[in-house]
């Protein structure tokens, strides 16, 4: 599978719609001992910012299975990382 193809995945929602997502990045956290994925469907909010999503996943699995982020600690970790990336790109 090509590197470009590995940057995308599709999910069928509860209404049967297929949505393609682009993987922005993945990372592992020593704090939580979990792997995370940050992705987008390349849509924008009312302020013109790209909408991003995050989940944890088992990177050793053959099939990408996303799991909900359950704690405020995990959300803070992801939000801080996104803020750092945004600052670095300015």
Each residue's pLDDT expressed in tens, for the chain with a length of 90 residues = 344 557 999 999 899 999 999 999 999 999 999 999 999 999 999 999 889 999 999 988 888 889 999 999 999 999 999 889 888 877
What are the distances in angstroms from CA 68 to CA 26, 53, 75?
15, 10, 11
pTM here is 0.83
């Amino acid at each position: 599978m090509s590197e470009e193809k590995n940057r995308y995945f599709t999910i069928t929602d509860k209404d049967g719609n297929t949505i393609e997502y682009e993987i922005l990045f993945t990372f592992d956290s020593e704090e939580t001992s979990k792997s995370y994925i940050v992705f987008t469907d390349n849509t924008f909010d009312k302020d013109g910012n790209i909408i991003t999503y995050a989940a944890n996943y088992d990177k050793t699995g053959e099939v990408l299975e996303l799991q909900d982020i359950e704690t405020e600690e995990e959300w803070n970790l992801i939000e801080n990382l996104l803020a750092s990336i945004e600052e670095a790109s300015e």
